[in-house]
């Protein structure tokens, strides 16, 4: 037994030999707390580790258990991981610890804290102060100041929103090809590949995400605007969970049963008899976000000459709209792929 754990009392017990005897009485060890393996109680955000350690000023004959809670501006399970809520020091030992592991969240939120408060213990006594604070250093830079770290920001130099991958509304999202006037000659207008030509079902719009960040299109709408009356009619609302990955295309057909690979693009159908209701002239097509902000538009009126083929950008993604056959003779459309039929 360590001397620091003993207090000596001399009981005046008369022995038969005429002597006095002295007995010793155990006292509880004193607990101190610390954060080890880090400097200044500060740890980095991305995979940092701090050891929450309890130390006794001397070994005890009994197990010592220290219970604690956490609070502060950091969120357990999101900013850091900690599976234990108590530390046990076995009899005969003087230290025990648990590990706090930080997690990267890519949000620019400044330094955060974990306040660790010791609530109760058995077979020991607290020293002065029974709490300690761990600081998690934010390691995310945010050049454009939009709240998303540069490492995860699809547009690190252009302020946007976290929901939009750090990009401004519409940034990187474009319309690359539109078929609003399918050919009615045999199957030459069968753009969706289902073996049937239909002026509504084979019409399509091809979108492309020209960033490296996935875009959530849930709740976005496609509307046609009558240019003469400025009347707007919603023709399609993207369903919940519609995600367009970076550098990928999405094709929405008026209807039918799209058959084929379409270059690996996301393929959707409107699912009503009128499809997208795209006309040869006198209308404009608009894509709007769930708040009604217009993100993209396509003016078919400016290109109306009943082409019986799609209008596509030439070059793909960056050029102006031209009739598809002028880029690839004999090929009237290329939903989901580049004009030459290869994948994006």
pLDDT level of residue 260 (50, 70, 90 thresholds)? very high
Both 34 and 129 in a single domain?
Answer: yes
Both 205 and 84 in a single domain?
Answer: no
Distances (CA, A) of 259 to 196, 262, 273, 292: 11, 8, 19, 32
Distance in angstroms (rounded) separating the CA atoms of residues 289 and 295: 7
pTM for this model (two decimals): 0.57
Specify if 188 maps to a domain. yes
The DSSP result for 251-270, as a single string, is: EEESSS---S-GGG-EEEE-
Of 123 and 157, more confident = 123
Specify if 262 maps to a domain. yes
Specify if 185 maps to a domain. yes
Specify if 335 maps to a domain. no
Both 41 and 86 in a single domain?
Answer: yes
Q: What CATH number should be reported for the domain holding residue 55?
A: 2.60.40.2030
Domain that holds residue 254: 173-327
What is the per-residue pLDDT across 3-20, written as a single tens digit (0 to 9) for each? 334 343 444 444 444 554
Specify if 89 maps to a domain. yes
Both 130 and 186 in a single domain?
Answer: no
Distances (CA, A) of 58 to 87, 131, 195, 235, 292: 16, 21, 85, 77, 69
Distance in angstroms (rounded) separating the CA atoms of residues 125 and 32: 9
Both 181 and 268 in a single domain?
Answer: yes
- For the chain, how many structural domains are there in total? 2
Both 259 and 322 in a single domain?
Answer: yes
In the predicted model, is pLDDT for residue 310 greater than 70? yes
Both 105 and 244 in a single domain?
Answer: no
Whether residue 181 contacts residue 306, with contact meaning beta carbons closer than 8 Å, is answered with: yes
Specify if 220 maps to a domain. yes
Both 131 and 200 in a single domain?
Answer: no
Distance in angstroms (rounded) separating the CA atoms of residues 336 and 333: 10
What is the per-residue pLDDT across 148-196, written as a single tens digit (0 to 9) for each? 777 677 777 778 877 667 777 777 899 999 999 899 999 999 999 999 9
- Neighbouring CB atoms inside 10 A of 20's CB total 10
295 CA to centre of own chain: 22
Specify if 68 maps to a domain. yes
Both 111 and 36 in a single domain?
Answer: yes
Q: What CATH number should be reported for the domain holding residue 214?
A: 2.60.40.1260
């Amino acid at each position: 037994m360590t001397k620091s754990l003993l207090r000596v009392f001399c009981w005046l017990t008369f022995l038969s030999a005429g002597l006095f005897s002295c007995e010793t009485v155990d006292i509880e060890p004193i607990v101190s707390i610390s954060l080890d393996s880090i400097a200044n109680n500060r740890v980095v955000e991305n995979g940092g580790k701090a050891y929450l350690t309890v130390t006794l000023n001397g070994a005890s004959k009994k197990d010592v258990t220290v219970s604690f809670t956490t609070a502060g501006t950091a969120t357990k399970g999101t900013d850091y991981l900690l599976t234990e809520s108590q530390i046990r020091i076995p009899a005969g030992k003087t230290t025990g610890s648990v590990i706090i592991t930080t997690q990267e969240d890519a949000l620019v939120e400044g330094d955060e804290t974990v306040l660790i408060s010791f609530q109760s213990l058995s077979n020991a006594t607290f020293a002065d102060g029974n709490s300690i604070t761990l600081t998690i250093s934010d390691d995310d830079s945010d050049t454009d100041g939009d709240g998303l770290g540069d490492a995860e920001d699809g547009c690190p130099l252009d302020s946007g929103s976290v929901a939009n991958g750090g990009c401004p509304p519409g940034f990187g999202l474009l319309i690359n090809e539109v078929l609003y006037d399918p050919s009615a000659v045999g199957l030459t207008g069968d753009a969706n590949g289902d073996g049937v030509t239909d002026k509504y079902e084979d019409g399509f719009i091809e979108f492309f995400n020209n960033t490296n960040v996935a875009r959530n299109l849930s709740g976005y709408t496609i509307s046609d605007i009558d240019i003469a009356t400025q009347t707007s009619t919603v023709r399609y609302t993207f369903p919940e969970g519609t995600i367009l990955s970076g550098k990928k295309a999405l094709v929405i057909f008026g209807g039918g049963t799209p058959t084929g690979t379409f270059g690996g693009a996301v393929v959707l159908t409107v699912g009503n008899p009128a499809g997208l209701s795209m006309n040869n002239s006198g209308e404009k097509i608009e894509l709007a976000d769930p708040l009604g902000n217009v993100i993209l538009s396509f003016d078919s009126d400016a290109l109306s000459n009943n082409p019986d083929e799609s209008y596509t950008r030439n070059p793909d993604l960056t050029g102006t709209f031209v009739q598809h056959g002028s880029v690839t003779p004999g090929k009237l459309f290329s939903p989901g792929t580049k004009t030459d039929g290869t994948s994006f």
